Amino acid sequence: MAYNLLKGKKGIIFGALNNMSIAWKVAEKAYEEGAEFILTNAPVAMRFGEINELAKACNTEVVSADASKLEDIENLFEIAEKKYGKIDFILHSIGMSLNVRKGLKYDELNYDYYHKTMDISAMSFHRVIQVAKQKDIMNEWGSIVALTYVAAQRTLFRYNDMADAKAMLESIARSFGYIYGREKKVRINTISQSPTMTTAGSGVKGIDNLLDFTDRMSPLGNATAEECADYCITLFSDLTKKVTMQNLFHDGGFSNMGMSERAMTVYNKSLEQE
C-alpha cells in the first residue's frame, strides 16, 4: 500500500544490482511513494544490465559512477542538478571487500584489498556527502541514508574487514551529520540491517547458518530487504525530520539480545551430549 510519502521528492539511489538488492527494493518503494530519482551503480555492475529493467519500471535513467572515483560522483551530481535542481534524498547501498571475495581471513588480510574495502564501502559515503554539500544540491530537511551491519559494533566472526568499513561508515554519519545538519538542516543516518540474502550478503562465508541463527535469536525474526526498504522510505519522508546522526537497528531485535530461552535450551542439550 502506498501513502504518497515521497510525493514531489527527488533523489539518487546507489547500489541496485539485481532484484535481490536492498537498493532495488528501495527504488521500487520510492517510486510507489511518488519519488523521482536517478539510479546509479559502478560501471562493472552496469554490464549485467539488470538495472536497466529497474530504470524502465521506475520511469528513470541510470548513470554509471564508481563510488571510489571523485570525478564520477561529481559528474553524477551535475547530471542530477541539471535534471532536478535540488534533491531530497540519497541512498548509499554499497559494499565490497576483495578480502572477503578471495576468502582471506582477518589475520591474513591483503592491504591493497583492505584499502579498497575502506574506499568503496566507507570513504565513498564521505565522498558522496562532501560532493553533495559542495554543490549545495540537497534541499533543507533532505535525508541521506547508508546501509550498515551490526558487525561494526559487535564481533561477528567472518564479517572480516567489512566490519571495519562499517564502523567507519557509521562514524561518518555522525561526523558529517553534525556539520550538514547545523549548516543546511540535512540529516544523515545509517540503518543496521539484518543479514539478507543478496549478492553482497551471499559473499559472507556461512551466511545460511548466520541467517538461521539471527532469525531464531531475534524476537521478531530477521528483517527482509522489502522491510528495510520500508524503513528507508520513512527516513526519506518528512515524518522523520529530526532524526539524524543515528545508527538505527533494523534487525528484529537481534542487536539487543544476549541469550534467548530457545538458544539456552539447545546449548544445554548439546552439553548433555558431550
Using CB under 6 A as the binding rule, whether residue 11 contacts ligand NAD is answered as no
- CB of residue 69 vs ligand NAD: minimum separation in angstroms? 8
We find the least distance from the C-beta atom of residue 15 to ligand NAD, in angstroms, to be: 4
Binding string to ligand NAD for residues 155 to 174, with x set by CB under 6 A, is what? Answer: --------------------
User: Cα–Cα distance between 236 and 144 in angstroms, integer?
Assistant: 8
Residue 31 a catalytic site member: no
Catalytic member of 159, 178, 180, 267: 159
Q: Which amino acid is at 18?
A: N
Contact present, 23 and 91 (Cβ < 8 Å): yes
Q: Is 38 in the site for ligand NAD (CB under 6 A)?
A: no
Residue 128 in contact with ligand NAD, rule: CB under 6 A: no
Grid cell digits, residue 252: 528484529
Whether residue 43 contacts residue 113, with contact meaning beta carbons closer than 8 Å, is answered with no
Q: Is 200 in the site for ligand NAD (CB under 6 A)?
A: yes
Which of the stretches 3-11, 41-49, 229-237, 255-263 binds ligand NAD when contact is defined by CB under 6 A? Answer: 41-49
| Residue among 34 and 253 whose Cβ is closer to ligand NAD | 253
Q: How far is CA 70 from CA 32, 36, 191, 264, in A?
A: 31, 24, 24, 50
Q: Is 90 helix (H, G, I), strand (E, B) or coil?
A: strand
Q: Rule CB under 6 A: choose which of 60, 190, 196, 222 binds ligand NAD.
A: 196
Instruction: Indicate the SS3 state at residue 63.
Output: strand
Is 223 one of the binding residues for ligand NAD (CB under 6 A)?
Answer: no
Provide the angle, in degrees to the nearest 10, between the axes of the packed helices 207-217 and 261-272: 120
**Contact criterion met (CB below 8 Å) for 241 and 141:** yes
- Binding to ligand NAD by CB under 6 A, coded x per residue (else -) over 232-271, reads ----------------------------------------
Residue 114 is among the residues annotated as catalytic for this protein = no
Contact segment (CB under 6 A) with ligand NAD among 82-90, 196-204, 236-244, 252-260 equals 196-204
Q: Confirm or reject binding of residue 93 to ligand NAD (CB under 6 A).
A: yes
Considering only residues 48 to 67 of the shown chain, the ones binding ligand NAD according to CB under 6 A are 66-67
What pairing do the DSSP bridges indicate for beta strands 62-64 and 138-148? Answer: unpaired
Q: What share of the chain is helix, strand, coil (3-state, %, to 5)?
A: 50, 15, 35
Q: How far is CA 174 from CA 14, 123, 157, 211, 241, in A?
A: 20, 14, 26, 28, 16
Which residues have a catalytic role annotated? 149, 159
Q: Which residues bind ligand NAD (CB under 6 A)?
A: 15, 17, 21-23, 41-42, 45, 66-68, 93-96, 120, 147-149, 193, 195-196, 198-201
